């Protein structure tokens, strides 16, 4: 029998001991009337009054011997020391505690506030009850969990034992709350759009495919947070809309990328890329201030100061400076040759768009930011409006921070004829083997033909949070997807 099996058998024996003494190991209710945070905040008043109270929580540590036992109780709001003394309790109840309670158990403890001889704020216990008997031993707080796979697979234990990890997910919640507050205060309407789509659109990505039994048709998990749907809502007359929702991309996994994650997308009628730059700077700074109380971050080897003036980088000029070719005039063979000459690793068959994209990603790694990337070729962005001074590039911005692109926005294409032409070019790329090129969405073009106002669209994902945390993105998801054991 393994050590784990022995522990489990011993704890089951303790359940039987509780039953024999007339107690339930898993009662439905507790008499708790005070959280540990409330106990700590009002300790002096409670100590002076001598009032009895009941705390409840998980036993994190226990120590002592003979006629006195010290335990640390944790209820999610805080941690408190409880003290059980034989002289202050019924002897059989004190003995039952010693015989049946282990670290990891949930208990309630009734007593009064007092300070120990060392001045520690504590609860002097006069009564206790088991609330939930644990069958497996939680890790030692001193040693914790060291194996990374176990940390992710049993994340509940990592959160329980590690305050730093607990704090990450509190900040994650504040991150999305700050974004939602920022938008709602500016008059945006929060919407929900379909997750299952008959044709995935709004991004260059490979979708997950499933079958809809009732309609007997293949459908796709969406690859964007409702981009084409939200722009239909601009057609419908809503001036400002946004969605925070899950998206799914059947692609590679890395320090920065996952297959399912949370995305924000917003659309504002009568706005454009220039207005969008101000919107984006304000949003990033608002998040930083609300969640972290600062605008200076260390991300990898980069020191990023969101409070400074943001740089503006010309996509084509940056590539020409580094590789000597102009993405607007070079041929496909020249672009591919530049990738090969630079020894940039690629895992796909290259065409002009993919080759130029790899060249840019090589440049991007050197950019600390914050910066806006602008003037991207039309063939790399089928949904953005062409620039007024050069119809070969689009009015698109991307937020560059710590060598990566963390957000994207653009003056939305609202010309249905141009949109159809670009979709058809993307469709030709798909038929030539580029499975990340976008599909022709006839229903979206039909909606656009009724008239869509000029607008600025913007999107960012939880990757921004991972960068602010300076952590791999899978560690900033509470339960990342893992292969089964």
Report the CATH number at residue 459. 3.30.930.10
301 and 168 housed in the same domain: yes
208 and 287 housed in the same domain: yes
pLDDT digits over 87-141, tens only?
A: 999 999 999 999 999 999 999 999 999 999 899 999 999 999 999 999 999 887 6
Q: What does the block give as tokens for 402? A: 């710590």
Of 138, 171, 200, which closes a domain? 138
Report the pLDDT averaged over residues 35-41.
97
164 and 66 housed in the same domain: no
Integer Cα distance of 289 and 427 in angstroms: 43
Q: What does the block give as tokens for 372? A: 């806006």
Is 70 exceeded by the pLDDT of residue 145?
no
pLDDT digits over 175-187, tens only?
A: 999 999 999 999 9
Nearest to 449 by CA among 416, 484, 421, 418: 416
Residue 191 structural domain: 159-310+369-476
Number of domains in the chain: 2
374 and 460 housed in the same domain: yes
Q: Is the model more confident about 132 or about 205?
A: 132
Is the entire prediction scored with pTM above 0.85? yes
245 and 378 housed in the same domain: yes
Neighbouring CB atoms inside 10 A of 383's CB total 24
DSSP 443: H
Is 60 exceeded by the pLDDT of residue 194?
yes
Q: Residue 482: what pLDDT?
A: 82
Report the pLDDT averaged over residues 306-332.
95
132 and 172 housed in the same domain: no
237 and 381 housed in the same domain: yes
Strand 240-248: give its sheet, edge to edge: 189-190, 240-248, 260-269, 455-461, 404-411, 396-401, 371-374, 311-314
40 and 107 housed in the same domain: yes
Helix, strand or coil, per DSSP, at residue 291:
helix
Integer Cα distance of 262 and 462 in angstroms: 6
63 and 185 housed in the same domain: no
DSSP 475: G
Bridge partners, residue 113, by sequence: 123
Q: Residue 1: what pLDDT?
A: 64
Is 80 exceeded by the pLDDT of residue 254?
no
Q: Residue 65: what pLDDT?
A: 81
């Amino acid at each position: 029998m393994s050590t784990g099996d022995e522990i489990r058998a011993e704890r089951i024996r303790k359940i039987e001991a509780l039953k024999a003494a007339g107690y339930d190991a898993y009662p439905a209710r507790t008499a708790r009337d005070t959280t540990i945070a409330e106990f700590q905040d009002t300790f002096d008043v409670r100590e002076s009054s001598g009032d009895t109270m009941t705390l409840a929580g998980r036993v994190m540590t226990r120590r002592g011997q003979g006629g006195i036992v010290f335990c640390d109780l944790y209820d999610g709001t805080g941690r408190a020391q409880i003290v059980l003394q034989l002289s202050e309790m019924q002897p059989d109840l004190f003995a039952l505690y010693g015989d049946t309670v282990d670290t990891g158990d949930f208990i309630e403890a009734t007593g009064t506030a007092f300070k120990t001889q060392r001045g520690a704020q504590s609860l002097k216990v006069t009564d206790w009850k088991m609330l939930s008997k644990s069958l497996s031993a939680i890790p030692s707080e001193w040693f914790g969990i060291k194996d990374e796979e176990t940390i992710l697979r049993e994340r509940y234990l990592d959160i329980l034992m590690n305050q730093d990890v607990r704090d990450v997910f509190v900040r994650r919640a504040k991150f999305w709350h700050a974004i939602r507050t920022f938008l709602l205060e500016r008059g945006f309407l929060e919407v929900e759009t379909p997750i299952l789509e008959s044709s995935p659109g709004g991004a260059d990505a490979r979708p997950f495919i499933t079958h809809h039994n009732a309609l007997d048709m293949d459908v796709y998990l969406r690859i964007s947070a409702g981009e084409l749907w939200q722009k239909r809502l601009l057609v419908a007359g809503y001036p400002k809309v946004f969605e925070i929702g899950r998206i799914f991309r059947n692609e590679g996994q890395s320090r920065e990328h996952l297959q399912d994650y949370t995305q924000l997308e917003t659309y504002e009628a009568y706005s454009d890329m220039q207005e969008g730059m101000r919107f984006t700077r304000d949003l990033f700074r608002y998040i930083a201030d609300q969640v972290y109380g600062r605008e200076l971050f260390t991300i990898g080897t980069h020191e990023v100061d969101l409070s400074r003036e943001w740089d503006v980088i010309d996509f084509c000029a940056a590539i020409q400076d580094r590789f000597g070719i102009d993405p607007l005039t070079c041929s496909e063979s020249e672009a591919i040759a530049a990738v090969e000459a630079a020894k940039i690793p690629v895992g796909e068959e290259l065409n002009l768009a993919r080759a130029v994209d790899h060249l840019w990603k090589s440049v991007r790694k050197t950019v600390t930011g914050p910066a806006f990337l602008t003037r991207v070729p039309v063939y790399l962005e089928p949904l953005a409006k062409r620039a007024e001074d050069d119809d070969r590039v689009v009015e698109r911005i991307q937020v560059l921070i710590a060598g990566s692109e963390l957000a994207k926005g653009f003056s939305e294409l609202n010309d249905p004829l141009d949109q159809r032409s670009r979709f058809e070019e993307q469709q030709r790329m798909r038929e030539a083997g580029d499975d990340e090129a976008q599909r022709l969405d006839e229903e979206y073009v039909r909606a656009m033909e009724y008239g869509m106002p000029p607008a600025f669209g913007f999107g960012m994902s939880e990757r921004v949070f991972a960068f602010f945390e300076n952590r791999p993105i899978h560690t900033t998801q509470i339960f990342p997807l893992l292969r089964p054991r």
